[in-house]
Amino acid sequence: MIVTNYYLIGNFTLSSSWIAIIVAFAVAYSLVRMLFNAQSANRFADQFFIVLIIWKLSVVVTDAPLILQAPMSVIYFNGGLFGFCLGIIYVFVKLWMNIRRGNVTKEQLDSMMYGVILMQAFYQVGMASLNDGPLYARLATIVIFLALLLLTVWRIRKKTAVSNQEPLLFAAAHLFAASFQPAGYWNGALLITLLIVGFWMLVDYLTEKGIRRK
């Protein structure tokens, strides 16, 4: 969904996207902690904040001339979609290295994927609720992602390990929702979903391949 509204909270003006992100992360973190354990939730939170830090600091790469002229501008700007994708790539490379060292369990890996699905679902519902737009697009987004959210919680409670089925369903649900949204398929949130799904499936494949070799 496209950002159309800004909200005054105390002395701060926040865009609807930031409100949706903050609430989505808080709820997703709480659910991962409740449905898995504190260690898995903390690992999920660590990866999220690493992505945010890289997204913020990548402005040094995307707007180098501006930073050279006014170094303090790094506080106010970020690396945009490029920086966010860079953060995701870094997290998955680091995750793969930790898996090879035996520092990440299958349950922790699954909890991160489920956490991403939960967070994206809450984010999309929040964006559809907080912004203006065609009613059919907002309703379709809310219904699709609420269904995905309920299905995800149900599968977690069944102790279902993540296979390729869950990430592919996640990607398919987002693609279907995007077909109703004003921005269509050319939007950052969808690209991030597809990037995460692609890298998760690659890491999972390499992990399974390594286990079979042993």
Residue 214 has pLDDT above 70, yes or no: no
Whether residue 1 is contained in a domain is answered as no
For 179, phi then psi, to 5°, come to -65, -20
Across the range 16-43, mean pLDDT stands at 93
Across the range 7-27, mean pLDDT stands at 89
**pLDDT tens-digit series, residues 167-177:** 999 999 999 99
- 108 confidence band (pLDDT: 50, 70, 90): confident
- Which residue range forms the structural domain that includes residue 56? 6-213
**pLDDT tens-digit series, residues 120-159:** 999 999 999 998 989 999 999 999 999 999 999 999 888 8
Contact 127, 140 (CB under 8 A): no
Whether residue 68 is contained in a domain is answered as yes
pTM over 0.75: yes
Residue 15 has pLDDT above 70, yes or no: yes
In sequence order, what DSSP letters do the residues of the chain get, joined into one string? -----EEEETTEEEEHHHHHHHHHHHHHHHHHHHHT-HHHHHHHHHHHHHHHHHHHHTHHHHTHHHHHH-GGGGGT---HHHHHHHHHHHHHHHHHHHHHTT-S-HHHHHHHHHHHHHHHHHHHHHHHHHS---HHHHHHHHHHHHHHHHHHHHHHHTTPPP-SHHHHHHHHHHHHHHTTSTTTT--HHHHHHHHHHHHHHHHHHHHHHHHHH-
Task: Please report the pLDDT score of residue 81 as a whole number.
Answer: 87
Task: Please report the pLDDT score of residue 32 as a whole number.
Answer: 94
How many distinct structural domains can be found in the chain? 1
**pLDDT tens-digit series, residues 44-65:** 999 999 999 999 888 888 887 8
- 210 confidence band (pLDDT: 50, 70, 90): low
Whether residue 21 is contained in a domain is answered as yes
